[in-house]
Structures are given as C-alpha cells and as structure tokens.
Structure 1
Amino acid sequence: MSHLLVIDAHAVIHRAYHSIPPSLTYNGQVVNALYGFYSMFLSTVDQLKPKYVVVCMDSPGPTFRDKEYMAYRAQRRPADQDLVKQFPLVKQSLENSAIPLFIMGGYEADDLIATVALQASKQNSISTVTVLTGDKDLMQLVNQKVQLLMPVRGLSQTKTYSIDDVTQRLGVKPDQVVDLKALMGDPSDNYPGVKGVGPKIATSLLEKYENLDSVYQHLDEIKENLRQKLETDKDNAYLSQKLAQLVYDAPIELSLDSALWNQDKQDNLLNIFKSFNFKSLASRLQNKNKNQSKSQPINPQQSLF
C-alpha cells in the first residue's frame, strides 16, 4: 500500500512568502517564496516518505465561482508584486522537474486537489492521501483515506488533521464543513451565509439537524429570532453552500506512473536548486540521497530549515 502527497502550491507559496525575509534574492529578484516552497516540499517528503507526489496550483483568471457570485473574493487586496512574480518561477521549476502539476482554467486549486484525492482514494494501491495545505476549506476532504498536513507556525511546525482533528477544530464533521460555511458564510472568500449566524449557532444547528436541508425542513422547531434570520437569508445560505462545495470531477486525470517520486525528479530538483544558488536546499537533497537507505522519519515539529 502506498502514500500519495498532494501539495497545494498557492497555499504553501503564500505562507513561505510571509515567513521568509524578502532579502533572499537571485539576480535581483526576490525568491523567498520559491525557496520556502521547496524547503517545505523537501521536509514534507522526508517526513511522509510518499511513493507519489503531485502539485495543484490556481490558474490566472476567473473561476466558475466568480461567475456565480460577482462579489466572490472581491474584498481581497492585490498580492504584493514580489510574491506575484514568484508564481511563474514555481510553475516553471515544477514543470522542469517533471513533478505532475495540475492547473485548469475556471477551477481553483482546491477543486483540482479534491478531484485528485477522490481519484487516488479509488485506487486500491493507495492507502493514504495527504494534502499539504494551509487552507481550512480543504477540511471537507478529510475521510478515512485522506488527511491534511497544515502548517501551524510559519513553516516550522505542522499538524496532521484526521476526521477527529477536524471535528475538534471546527465543531463539525468533515462532511458538514460545507454546510457550516453555508450558514456562517466566509469573510475570507466574501460570501454571506446567514446574517447573524456565527460559528456557535451554526455548529449547534448542524449538531441537531445534520445538514442544511434538514435545518430548513425543521424551521418550525427553531426559535423565532433565529428562524427569521434563516428564512430571510435562505437564498444566501444555499448560494454559500454552492460556493463552498469543492468540485470532485474537474477534467484532469491522476497518473500514478507520472506521479512516482523517483531519482530522476530528485536529480532535476537538484539542478534547479543549483541554478538558483539554493545551496542549503541542494545540500539537503544530496544528503538525503546519500543516506536514503538509513534515513528515519523526521519529527513533524522539527524545523524545516
């Protein structure tokens, strides 16, 4: 039985950019996010020792969610240009490494991750799918076969999220996360939910009624003040549910043969690290290869640098 690692590139790149000083440059260009992405990549591979590795990345331009709701993420400020300029560097380096990179116009990386995770879960040869991400939206994916690995502090600590961990963190089961967001909305993505319903009320409703449909089927049991809020914002609740729901059938296909984490890809990465003068990353990869036969899993709380 084998392990697949799925990396949420944008989430890791953003965290790396804000965790590493911008003084890290190459030929005058800031490369702190590029460096941090691969630092976390190497540490995660060392920790999990997956047989297969793939990366998913957002594509430029609008997605179906933007078309569904014009205000989707409209409140977000433009990203720093020093960060924006590093996305193509990560993309090109991944393509040069031959590590499978999934990008699809009209879809978010989250949707591609969901699709890959589902396809992998159906493979008898895959025992575990781990998604490296900082995005809580992906907690809806967690099941007996799929887990999340999330940074806790900067890039230096991570935590694995199983079904029980998601429930402890959010107060609902993974398969209720979408309806939780439908009720309470999501300020980071700028969709409304039900006005006046926060995490405490939303979790109590789902604890009693299980899902959004059941909440609305039992409005007569709910106190008048809350019932009025739910009735008033019913359309927003179902719109938010649609926006929160990840897509599991994006038009991509996981090939385990292509995803195999092998020596050729490690050699490609080594050349990439050398081309950017990432001496410490090159040294880590070389040492890993030298000691592969006697290497041990690292502590997940160990520093990534």
Structure 2
Amino acid sequence: MLLIDSDFLAYKAAQACEIGIDFGEDVIIAQSQFSEVLKVFHNELNKVTKAMMEDNFILYFSSTKNFRKKIYPDYKGHRMKRKPLGYKRLVNYCRENHNFKLIEGLEADDTIGIEATRFADPSNIIVSPDKDMRQIPSTLWNLTDDVTEITKDDGDRWHLIQSLSGDPTDGYSGCPGIGVKRATELLNKNENKWEAVCKAYRDRGLSDDDALLNARLAKILRNEDYDHDRNQPILWTPN
C-alpha cells in the first residue's frame, strides 16, 4: 500500500494549469480548466504507482486548521495564502473518488505518520518529497532517490536534527547558526542527545523552552503522539 502525501501532487497539478490573462490597462486575471488539472494530477499519480509497482494507495491531505499554530501562531505564516485555482476542487474530487484521508487539525505528514506506525506493515511505502518524513519509522520514497528504510532510531535522530536546524519553509528557525551538518556533529559528540540540543540553545542566549518549542514544531506525529479518544495530538516531551 502506498501512503501518498497528496498535498504536493495536488498543488503541483493545480499550479501547472493556472494561467494569467492580461487584458491590458490594470486588469490581469487567472484562469484554469479543471479537466486539465485532473489530467495532470492523474498523470502524476500514475507515475508514482508505476515507479513503485503498486496500484493500491491512500491519498493524504492536510487540514486547513493546524494544531501547531496554537503553540506558535507564526507557523507557516509567511506562505502565500491563496492556493492555485482548482486545488480545493481537486481535494474534494479526491475525497469522493479515491481512498482519501484527512484528520482535522493535522497536516498530511502527521496523518501519514500516525497511520504508518499504528498499522505498521512492511509492505507499506510512504511517498513524500518532504524531508520531515524521515522522522517516521517506515519505508520511504521521496520521489527522486531510491527507497529508504528508516528505523525508529533514525527517525528519533532526524527529529532532533530538525529541532536544531529548524525549517525556514515551515517558518520556525531552530537554533541560530546551526544547520543540518552542525546539528549532526553535536548529536554525534553527546550521549545525552536532548541535553545537547538544550545546551546549543543556551549557548546562543536562548532557553530550554525555546528548544522545546522548536522540537514540538518539528515533530511529525506517530501513533503514540495522538490521542484517538479525544482526537487531538499529544505534544512531544523529552524522555
């Protein structure tokens, strides 16, 4: 079964079909044909299923609400608000015509992470170009490289690396002056990984609370990070 991060595929399809028409003076409008959006989307989907030689899949989409904004209102605040024409209609089409999954308040990454660890199956493959998915113990294909096997230790380590390096595309900065390479070096040198993260923040005039906030923003949910009875995430806490 392919667990497909479909935000990316849908956005790519809708964006590819949007064109601008300049009427001169002060009038420029955007236009799209939904039939073309569908065609591009299905072409992209077919590329994935053929590459993985698997016809069974679930399409995962993000909720318009995001629990991370409750703990950090600026999360993804810099991104353009408007989706390409046809995007929302495409999401509704997928909801009605495909095996579709969306959990209110969660990003597609989180829903995939929860289900991949709740219903662990070695035949499942996560399909996503998002480097965040390297946190999830699974088989992962990022649409370009070879399929990768990720262990729990691999995923835990990548989470702490992202807690230090941050993610500008998601709008959280991490620890100033620390990228992926430096974060990896710091974790390699220290047996107490979380203390190493906190010390890096303290060394730069920040606090353990700053480290924890970034770790919670970086964390992609697994099954143990979600309260299924209350339908809400459990914020990450270091052991």
2:122 match: secondary structure: strand
Shift >6 Å, 4+ stretches: none
Higher relative contact order (CA 8 A, sep 6+): 1
Aligned residues: 213
What percentage of residue pairs aligned between the two structures are identical?
23
User: How has the CA–CA distance of structure 1 residues 76 and 96 changed in structure 2, closer, same or farther, with 3 Å as cutoff?
Assistant: closer
Query: Does residue 39 in structure 1 map to residue 43 in structure 2?
Result: yes
Q: Distance between the aligned counterparts of 2:146 and 2:86, measured in 1?
A: 27
Per-residue deviation, 1:179: 0.7
Equivalence for 1:228: 203
Per-residue deviation, 1:205: 0.7
Give the counterpart letter for 2:11 in structure 1. Answer: H
1:159 match: secondary structure: coil
Q: Distance between the aligned counterparts of 2:17 and 2:145, measured in 1?
A: 24
Map residues 78-157 of structure 1 onto 2, 5 A cutoff: 78-80=81-83, 83=84, 85-97=85-97, 99-121=98-120, 126-141=121-136, 143=137, 146-151=138-143
User: Residue 59 of structure 1 contacts residue 104 of structure 1 at CA under 8 Å; is this kept in 2?
Assistant: yes
Q: Which has the higher helix share?
A: 1
User: Residue 2 of structure 2 contacts residue 57 of structure 2 at CA under 8 Å; is this kept in 1?
Assistant: yes
User: Residue 192 of structure 1 contacts residue 237 of structure 1 at CA under 8 Å; is this kept in 2?
Assistant: no
Query: Does residue 162 in structure 1 map to residue 143 in structure 2?
Result: no
TM-align CA RMSD: 2.9
Per-residue deviation, 1:119: 2.4
Equivalence for 2:28: none
Q: Distance between the aligned counterparts of 2:166 and 2:207, measured in 1?
A: 11
Map residues 169-180 of structure 1 onto 2, 5 A cutoff: 173-180=154-161
Give the counterpart letter for 2:135 in structure 1. Answer: Q
Pick one of 3, 6, 28 that aligns with 2:3.
Answer: 6
CA offsets per residue over residues 249-292 of structure 1, 9 Å max, x none? 3577xxxxxxxxxxxxxxxxxxxxxxxxxxxxxxxxxxxxxxxx
Give the counterpart letter for 2:203 in structure 1. Answer: Q
Q: Distance between the aligned counterparts of 2:60 and 2:227, measured in 1?
A: 13
Q: Distance between the aligned counterparts of 1:34 and 1:236, measured in 2?
A: 43
2:57 match: secondary structure: strand
User: How has the CA–CA distance of structure 1 residues 94 and 227 changed in structure 2, closer, same or farther, with 3 Å as cutoff?
Assistant: closer
Structure 1 stretches of 5 or more lacking a match?
152-157, 167-171, 253-305
CA offsets per residue over residues 90-131 of structure 1, 9 Å max, x none? 22322332x32111221111111111211231xxxx332212
1:79 match: secondary structure: coil
1:128 match: secondary structure: coil
1:175 match: secondary structure: helix
Find the structure with the greater CA-based Rg: 1
When the two structures are superposed, what TM-score results if normalisation uses the length of structure 2?
0.76
Equivalence for 2:78: 75
CA offsets per residue over residues 47-73 of structure 1, 9 Å max, x none? 32336311110122x311000111111
User: Residue 174 of structure 2 contacts residue 214 of structure 2 at CA under 8 Å; is this kept in 1?
Assistant: yes
CA offsets per residue over residues 17-71 of structure 1, 9 Å max, x none? 45x4546xxxx733454333211211222232336311110122x3110001111
User: How has the CA–CA distance of structure 1 residues 35 and 208 changed in structure 2, closer, same or farther, with 3 Å as cutoff?
Assistant: farther
Structure 2 stretches of 5 or more lacking a match?
20-30, 229-239
Q: Distance between the aligned counterparts of 1:75 and 1:211, measured in 2?
A: 34
2:146 match: secondary structure: strand
Per-residue deviation, 1:200: 2.4
When the two structures are superposed, what TM-score results if normalisation uses the length of structure 1?
0.61
